Amino acid sequence: MSSFPIIDLVVGMIFIYFLLSIISSSAVEMILTGFRIRARVLEEWLITIFDKTIKKTDGSETSLGQEIMDHCAVTALSKKNKPPSYIDAKNFASALIERITYDPTNPKSVAKNLDEIITALNNTTALSIELQRALLSYAYEARDTYAAFSHKAVSEVEYFRYKVEHWYDTSMDRVTGTLKTRYAQPLTLMVALLTAVLLNADSIAIAKYLYSSPAFRIQLADQAYKAARDTSYLQRLNQIKTSPGDSVTLAQVKTDIASTLVNVSTAEAALETSIPLGWSKNEMMNNAGKLSVLKIFIKTTGLLATILAIFMGAPFWFDLLNKIANVRGTGPKPASTSKAQD
């Protein structure tokens, strides 16, 4: 509890926004997992970047991107011709180098050193000129840098693999950005709208309720401060922030959905014990029993404020709550020793 009621009110509102954001983020995560949106975005990137046709080991033809997705280093529990939701950088580099250096005339041969990889890169038709030049520059840089090492802890091939992995990780950052702007953000806005409207989570009405209920406001603020120190909330945030792995099997999808349902049910339970939510019959009526334009405007403004708050995301509100809790926990500045002695 704070000595300033306005601080308790702000902390209570932040806590409510945090709980509503958990519900929204969990719902978005369920949609992304259930419809395998991440896998689709990753597949689109692979097929677009590695679009050249190559021969498979059985003699048939396919794109290099499809071959990378179907490679044994990548597929894991995925089915053939179904893209995974996530590919580790090391596995991607292994699959890419193996497919580029594959020799149909000698299927069991492998590139033994960086010079053989450079030769394969020069002769391959599986890459676009741009990608071919980029990978060759990585290979030449790896060879020259390796030659300059006074203490050679890794091989030149490993250094080349590191360059490819770094390029892949950088590309995945852009793919993640595409996923957020094209799917996650619109879905978050849609779910935030549904959450606010269905629950009647009106920021103005909630703030008025907290302001007029001192005992409840203090109770909610204390609950918020406890949440800032609760490691279970931090674990839920990490689940929201962390992208699931290869969620292509039905069992894995069920597991991901079950974990998000736990987040939703926990947040809902906290809300139900905190603030009154839901619609009433005469909420938009004036004293004469007719629709009030003013009340409709205030309600719309309150709901829009909640939608915007939910769109900011649970990590934002949790970090803000932590900052306020840390400032509150520092307490007043201790008196100077010299002054105490005086």
For 83-96, the pLDDT digits (tens) are: 777 888 888 998 89
What does the pLDDT read at residue 226?
Answer: 81
Does this model's pTM top 0.85? My answer is no
The answer, yes or no, to whether residue 302 has pLDDT greater than 90, is yes
**Per-residue b or e along 62-84, where b marks 16 or more CB atoms closer than 10 Å to that residue's CB:** ebbbbbbbbbebbbeebeeeebb
What does the pLDDT read at residue 133?
Answer: 93
The answer, yes or no, to whether residue 245 has pLDDT greater than 70, is no
Section 58-80 average pLDDT: 76
Q: Per-residue confidence at 81, pLDDT binned at 50, 70, 90?
A: low
* Spatial distance between the Cα atoms of 143 and 134, rounded to a whole number of angstroms: 14
* DSSP H or E segment with residue 269: helix 250-272
Q: Per-residue confidence at 328, pLDDT binned at 50, 70, 90?
A: low
Neighbouring CB atoms inside 10 A of 105's CB total 5
Q: Are the C-beta atoms of 69 and 83 separated by less than 8 Å?
A: yes
To the nearest whole number, what is the mean pLDDT of the chain? 79
CA of 231: how far to CAs of 13, 147, 238, 266, 316, in Å?
Answer: 21, 49, 11, 14, 16
The answer, yes or no, to whether residue 246 has pLDDT greater than 50, is no
Q: Are the C-beta atoms of 205 and 301 separated by less than 8 Å?
A: no
User: In this predicted model, what pLDDT tens digit does every residue of 134-192 receive, in sequence order?
Assistant: 999 999 988 888 777 756 666 888 889 999 999 999 998 888 888 888 998 999 999 99
- What phi and psi, each to the nearest 5 degrees, are found at residue 113? -150, 180
Section 257-274 average pLDDT: 56
What does the pLDDT read at residue 257?
Answer: 47
Which among 53-57, 172-176, 336-340 has the top mean pLDDT?
172-176
More confident residue, 268 or 295: 295
Surface-to-core class of residue 179, CB atoms within 10 Å of its CB (0-12 exposed, 13-18 middle, 19+ buried): buried
